[in-house]
Structure 1
């Protein structure tokens, strides 16, 4: 599909826009990182000379394995298993304990940030599991 003259023209215009915006984006990235034009040139800049490199997750993992440097941030939270309880500082300094499986706190309430569709989905799955368990018990 998409081989009409109009679509070809649109693709060409988008390619021109991409080139134009790439320059602006690179300048913005350099400004955010605090890189000045006079400063030392790093290896990545020498290799690509004013081009931004986008890496996928596989390439990043390969680089990490090659370096074998694992830096852990003390503020990072490890992922919990299904049966663990998660403690969260709530409003007014109160601590709330959430179950990572049901996502309910000690009072049976869901967190404020949890969307209603997600709550409905969790309830639906829980009801299915209860029906399966009750059928197994009957046999």
Structure 2
């Protein structure tokens, strides 16, 4: 759709800007990380001159490859109802269930939207009804 002369020119200008800003961004990242610039001879190729951006799919593939190599070690498998400890306000620890999203007191986290809570409750009610129907049939 966007093939007019103006849009082509704008895309070309944005590509030039991306290249220019990539150099500045790389310098800023190196400064933040405390990486010192080293003088490199012409024969050496420095790989740190590029910043590689990965999307979530590529990161997952790398993580799966790492896990496949680490499977030789004894690793405890997590259950479906995994518990997560979170440091709350006032230094208190709260333990959340990943399945129900409730803490040890039966409260939902503050950041969870009311619509999401209602949706979770509806799904649990449906499961309870199905189980009760199966029990009545037996």
TM-score range, shorter chain: 0.5 to 0.7
Partner of 1:46: 45
Q: C-alpha deviations, 1:46-90, integer Å up to 9, x for none?
A: 354622223432663487479x689xxxxxxx9852334445454
Q: Which runs of 5+ in 1 are unaligned?
A: 71-77
Partner of 1:14: 14
Range that drifts further, 101-110 or 88-97: 88-97
Q: CA deviation at 1:24?
A: 0.8
The root-mean-square deviation of aligned C-alpha atoms, in Å, is 3.6
Task: Work out whether residues 95 and 104 of structure 2, in 8 Å CA contact, stay in contact via their aligned partners in 1.
Answer: yes
How high is the TM-score relative to the length of structure 2? 0.66
Structure 1 residues 27, 137: CA separation in 2 closer, same or farther (over 3 Å shift)? same
Task: Work out whether residues 30 and 36 of structure 1, in 8 Å CA contact, stay in contact via their aligned partners in 2.
Answer: yes
Task: Work out whether residues 40 and 46 of structure 2, in 8 Å CA contact, stay in contact via their aligned partners in 1.
Answer: no
Q: Which runs of 5+ in 2 are unaligned?
A: none
How high is the TM-score relative to the length of structure 1? 0.65
Q: How many residues align?
A: 128
